[in-house]
Structure 1
């Protein structure tokens, strides 16, 4: 019976299997991945530096707070070729999905029926826009789910699980910028638990949990950025340039994922209102993060998890659809019980794990070079290869292509800007917009930066700068690839530069 349970895939395992196959065999395509790769390679070869090694405009200093992800991806590239980062994302997403299903089961008191399956589906819709992107927030999503499971275990009476949080704080802060959510989740849950059960024993446990919350927070400082990391989340969120990034804006009602999030935010209101007893321990962190996610959509995947847990915890008692005709109620109940039995009798997480192991073995034996594993319609590899053959110099480039330049050409080719965002003062972002849109002052920006090369997107609005530079003259085209052009500056012989 146990063997049959291990071999039979449950709902989450089936979804994880599909995602593992799709993501694990996907070509590399996200622009941000390449500045993580460039940063990870630089750390491995030169160590950490407070001075930005990839630009001359990044005067705010390099803060490699997600250096661990970059280093890990570089090591996987060396072992597995281009498939390394893709398989890492597949493993992170699949593991997170399976752990989420476990957390939902605990919140529903073990009954993972239709409501639990619907909650999981809504969470996945909220997470779905992140899946095609090879970025470190997959690590953040997984570690947040680990923190949720630890908090659930603590609420069930296991105080020893608190020792996980200091180590979690150290690892998380060096992998993804969402590390502050770990201590915040534990601290707010501890306060809520003390309010749920007033008494000396409850207060003692809450104080102990708060102490580990502080330890997890302090542990984040054990990294290359030291104590500066404590203020980094606040500093980054307040940067004017951060407000221009899509994922840091309020939720977009044109996106299906936003409506799934709003459904998750609204559904618990009915469950909490009908519940005979309300849990502040689950409501407090969900309410705070849930409101924050409406203001900043980047938080939505984390908040969606907490909202789903609140829904299942407060809806646990009644497993019928109230107010519906008898036959429909019986049909719902039977279907709900069937899904719950399937979920309880299936432990098939083995299958996505086996698939990932097989894919890893294949790529370990036959690694694919990075250039062959990149989506060529997205990344202008020919132009980047041409740039690498030219003398080192300064490159005038758009926001997203900076990372690929730093990785494929190297740090000797100084980018104007890239999507790391925080190393660049707001004045550089404003200068970028002047160049992009042809705003007054764009010529002064060009003169001040004095680039040797230009790697620029052809499509509107990129054509604005290209048309103006053609009219001025002094540039020669070397390559045209994947919607980008590479131009070299024609200088006089006396300068000794390109």
Structure 2
């Protein structure tokens, strides 16, 4: 039997593949640039939890809102209980709590990963593809701008697509006078309860309105002006009303933010050179096409670029807000014509289907990235608190209602998540007074009077990450504080008192009982090593002060803890010799 091939089907198969060297080159570039974006996405996906320190209080605030309604006073610290607390992102917090309740931190991280994936791998390339810009150019430029800020579990994840949607609605109204702008006030009602970046949206809307008034006059701009007024009114539809507006503008006086890494200038960010490369390309194209661009696009791009240079956390916002206008400028560029194929590009679906295909790919990439990097709830929890669950749970099970804890901000957020409050401070830097935050940082850096500051608050415990070596060193040298446990990353200290020995014995973590405490072996070993460092540091201080007897006592305690240490035995021998020299005629201890 002779098989006769259908010529139309055969031709369709042939047309699906690249027909020219140029098309094959563009297909190869598309595959390579897409693969590079996937690689970058995978390598950054762990930062969803690893650098999202706010996740703890975001989740617990959502739980509080569901049970009690939006808070008006601080609910986490024992130091600022009467201070007003505005949960300006309460709707996002509720959503995070519900997701966490359904599937733990793992599901919450996967949700954030998926949102970022759809935005980064699907929506942004699709916007440019509809303008006739090949996918490989989008992926090439997107590979320059991916930073951890795209992944953090914060309400920015929702503000990102909202900013894009707003800009596209306003730009479409500018060019074709559609009715889409009338949904902006409804959008603002949702946005104002999600995140303070609704203020960015109002700013963009105001720029479009003012430019329209100048260019077209009152009559042609009545619609935009009405939308702006309605949006301003919509911003008051939140549990705090006008108080939220005052709070947002209060950010301008939040000088304590300048001490945060993410609030510092991008010029000090060693990883920002690729983002600056994006800005250079952006403004090269924008400048050359300036006569073809609207005043709105130039003003918005200029303002947000300056904001991103001034504050590194605005880098991702700048990319998102400039992206549609950058695409318009690039689509009008003569340089683009050499890369365009107005026929269907080989191997690429037409724009109408491109978004669905890219969205499906982005979900697969997000799921695989998250599963491979964080395969279980245990790993997700470990990633979030940097593997310090053992110390946190130990503190939670041994603290009493009368204990007063001093902690660093990041540890405070971990404690809030695990329900181990109240805390001294956490990462809600906008909630705490500026002078309070400055004094906390001063104490953590072991400035003169740090111990007096702790005494002022009657702090009975200190839970501190080893990322703060100055306060760790000061605690080691102080006779007022005793190390309880230390896993090499997070240490718990307790104030010295007449009842300390009995308390440590009851906890089975005294020098004589810690090896039989039942704690994980690694935690026991790290604690012993850290206690020996404390004894040695105090012995050196005592030697400097000529308190030789105290130095010998400290070194003897260290040797009893770690008898196999030649170094400690040698130091004890030297101290004994000094003690003998200091007491002529007496036998050496």
Q: Secondary structure at the match of 1:187?
A: helix
User: Alpha carbons of 1:159 and 1:370: their partners in 2 closer, same or farther (altered >3 Å)?
Assistant: farther
**Do the aligned partners of 1:403 and 1:419 also contact (CA within 8 Å) in 2?**
yes
SS at match of 1:252: helix
Instruction: Say whether 1:136 aligns with 2:155.
Output: yes
The structure with the larger Rg is 2
Q: Does residue 1:36 correspond to 2:58, yes or no?
A: yes
The partner residue of 1:383 within 384, 387, 391 is 391
Match of residue 472 from structure 2? 466
Structure 1's 188 and 435: CA in aligned 2 closer, same or farther, altered over 3 A?
Answer: same
Instruction: Classify 1:379/1:146 alpha carbon distance in 2 versus 1 (closer, same or farther; 3 Å).
Output: farther
1:49 and 2:71 are equivalent in the alignment = yes
> Across the two proteins, how many residue pairs are aligned to each other?
465
Does the 8 Å contact 2:163/2:320 carry over to 1? no
Contact 1:402 1:415 in 2 (8 A): yes
- In structure 1, C-alpha distance between the alignment counterparts of 2:268 and 2:477, rounded to whole Å: 41
Give the distance between the partners of 2:71 and 2:139, measured in 1 at CA: 42
Q: Deviations over 1:147-184 (max 9, x none)?
A: 22222332232532113222222222222221111121
Query: Which of 104, 107, 115 is the aligned partner of 1:81?
Result: 104
| CA distance, structure 2, for counterparts of residue 253 and residue 477 of structure 1 | 36
Question: Within 5 Å, which residues of 2 pair with 1:99-498?
Answer: 99-105=123-129, 110-113=131-134, 117-118=136-137, 121-123=140-142, 125-195=144-214, 198-199=215-216, 203-252=218-267, 254-261=269-276, 263-265=278-280, 267-274=282-289, 276-320=291-335, 333=338, 335-337=339-341, 341=345, 345=350, 347=354, 348-352=357-361, 355=364, 369=377, 373-375=381-383, 378-390=386-398, 391-392=400-401, 393-410=403-420, 413-459=421-467, 462-481=468-487, 483-491=489-497
Quick check: 1:27–1:375 contact (8 Å CA) kept in 2? no
| Higher RCO (Cα < 8 Å, 6 or more apart) | 1
**CA 173–125 in structure 1, closer or farther in 2 if over 3 Å, else same:** farther
Q: CA deviation at 1:226?
A: 1.9
Pair 1:442–1:21, CA change in 2 (3 A): closer
Partners of 1:235 and 1:465 lie apart in 2 by: 32
Deviation readout 1:218-252 (Å, 9 max, x if unpaired): 32222232212213232113212012112222213
Q: Deviations over 1:361-398 (max 9, x none)?
A: x9xxxx95467643277141111111211223432111
Whether the aligned pair in 2 keeps the contact of 1:56 and 1:416 (CA below 8 Å) is yes
Distance 1:313 1:48 in 2: 42
Contact 2:106 2:380 in 1 (8 A): no
Structure 1 pair 463–25 and aligned structure 2 pair: CA distance change class (3 A): closer
- Indicate how the Cα distance of structure 1 residues 338 and 245 shifts in structure 2: closer, same or farther if over 3 A, else same: farther
Contact 2:181 2:227 in 1 (8 A): yes
User: Secondary structure of 2:97's partner?
Assistant: helix
> How far off is 1:71 after superposition?
1.8
SS of residue paired to 1:349 = helix
Question: Post-superposition shift, 1:91?
Answer: 2.2
Paired residues of 1:127 and 1:257 also in contact (CA < 8 A): no
152-161 vs 48-57, which moves further: 152-161
Is residue 275–residue 315 contact of structure 1 (8 Å, CA) maintained in 2?
A: no
Deviation at 1:187?
Answer: 2.0
Map of 2:535 onto structure 1: none
Q: Is the 8 A contact 1:24 1:87 kept in 2?
A: no
Contact 1:23–1:90 (CA under 8 A) maintained in structure 2: no
> Is residue 2:116 matched to residue 1:93?
yes
- Give CA-to-partner distance per residue, 1:289-329, whole Å, 9 cap, x none: 222222222222222234343333234334337xxxxxxxx
- The separation in 1 between residues aligned to 2:109 and 2:316, in whole angstroms, is 20
Checking the alignment, whether the CA contact within 8 Å between 1:272 and 1:314 is kept in structure 2 is no
Per-residue CA deviations over 1:429-460 (Å, capped at 9, x if unaligned) read 1221221222123233111221232111224x
Partner residue in 1 for 2:572: none
| Superposition deviation, residue 46 in structure 1 | 2.8
8 Å CA contact 1:37–1:73 kept in 2: the answer is yes
Aligned twin of 1:328:
none
Once the two structures are superposed, residues 318-344 of structure 1 have per-residue CA deviations (whole angstroms, 9 ceiling, x without a partner) of: 4337xxxxxxxxxx82x4438982556
Q: Answer whether contact 1:82 1:372 (CA < 8 A) is retained.
A: yes
CA RMSD of aligned residues (A): 3.8
C-alpha offsets along residues 57-115 of structure 1, whole Å, 9 cap, x if unaligned? 33542121122222212111111222222122112212322222333345xxx2113xx
- Runs (5+) with no aligned partner, structure 2: 1-11, 17-26, 505-589
Asked if 2 retains the 8 angstrom alpha-carbon contact of 1:35 and 1:406, the reply is yes
Q: What is the TM-score of this pair, normalised by structure 1?
A: 0.80
